[in-house]
Amino acid sequence: EAGVAQSPRYKIIEKRQSVAFWCNPISGHATLYWYQQILGQGPKLLIQFQNNGVVDDSQLPKDRFSAERLKGVDSTLKIQPAKLEDSAVYLCASSFLSGGSYEQYFGPGTRLTVT
């Protein structure tokens, strides 16, 4: 079974530029998560999708971050304009359903550096 795919693996941009990350979850997984992991910290949830609907985006900086999940499968996370403090690893995870005993499977992450 293929795992969660993410691209790109690395991205370097200058502040005020825009960037987009892509995630392809495990086939059949209804729930998709985007986490932000700042160096030396644990991941923090940015947004959670159930199929193509948002169920939790309370920690998403909506003035600069946006995310969508097309047709309930792939997802894109965008930052525009980027700030220095956005430098982090962006992890995508998916699970069959949310909560309960369903395990979240993580992708390899995208390391973003904002200069």
Partner 1 sequence: AQTVTQSQPEMSVQEAETVTLSCTYDTSESDYYLFWYKQPPSRQMILVIRQEAYKQQNATENRFSVNFQKAAKSFSLKISDSQLGDAAMYFCAYRSAFGEAGGTSYGKLTFGQGTILTVHP
**C-beta of 8 vs 18, nearer to partner 1:** 8
Asked if residues 1 and 103 have their Cβ atoms less than 8 Å apart, the reply is no
DSSP state of 100: T
CA distance 93 to 106: 4
Residues that bind partner 1 (CB under 8 A): 31, 33, 35, 40-45, 48, 55-56, 89, 91, 93, 95, 97-104, 106-109, 111
Please state the closest distance from residue 113 (CB atom) to partner 1, in A. Answer: 14
Asked if residues 111 and 89 have their Cβ atoms less than 8 Å apart, the reply is yes
Please state the closest distance from residue 31 (CB atom) to partner 1, in A. Answer: 6
**C-beta of 31 vs 75, nearer to partner 1:** 31
* Residues ≥6 apart with Cβ < 8 Å to 42: none
**C-beta of 16 vs 44, nearer to partner 1:** 44
Please state the closest distance from residue 12 (CB atom) to partner 1, in A. Answer: 16
Asked if residues 51 and 72 have their Cβ atoms less than 8 Å apart, the reply is yes
**C-beta of 27 vs 41, nearer to partner 1:** 41
Q: Which two tokens stand for residue 63?
A: 């003035």
